[in-house]
Structure 1
Amino acid sequence: MADIEQARAQFDRIDTDGDGFITAAEFKKALAQGGDWNVTDSVAEAVIGAQDANKDKVLSFDEFWAHLSKA
């Protein structure tokens, strides 16, 4: 199980506008900054969509944490 404090720090790093949600664009940008330049918009949207429990097309921290804590 992941550490919630580390998860919060990672979430906050990805959530660049600080609105409390991770968009597909923010997710794609974070991956690019980590060196993965091959992620397309549609792939980023699919990854967000797979974890988006309420289907609002963004990830809240609760959705992010639920995904991490499954591992």
Structure 2
Amino acid sequence: MNRIFNLIFTQTGHDFSHYKKGTINRRIERRMAVHSMRRIDEYVHYLEKKTCRSRSALSRLLNQRHQFLS
């Protein structure tokens, strides 16, 4: 998961280090399932292909968090 956090931070500047790991893990696992991916390295490769995908991943992670808090 740290590879994903580092990638998102590098491409967007958003730091997930203070987020609850279990919550973020579940959300990343959900994104992987949506894209039919079983391994973290597949998802990392997917995010590395284009910056817009990392931004999209960030947006989805943050939106899910805000919906939960609403």
TM-score between both structures, scaled by the size of structure 1: 0.33
TM-score between both structures, scaled by the size of structure 2: 0.34
Larger proportion of strand: 1
Larger proportion of helix: 2
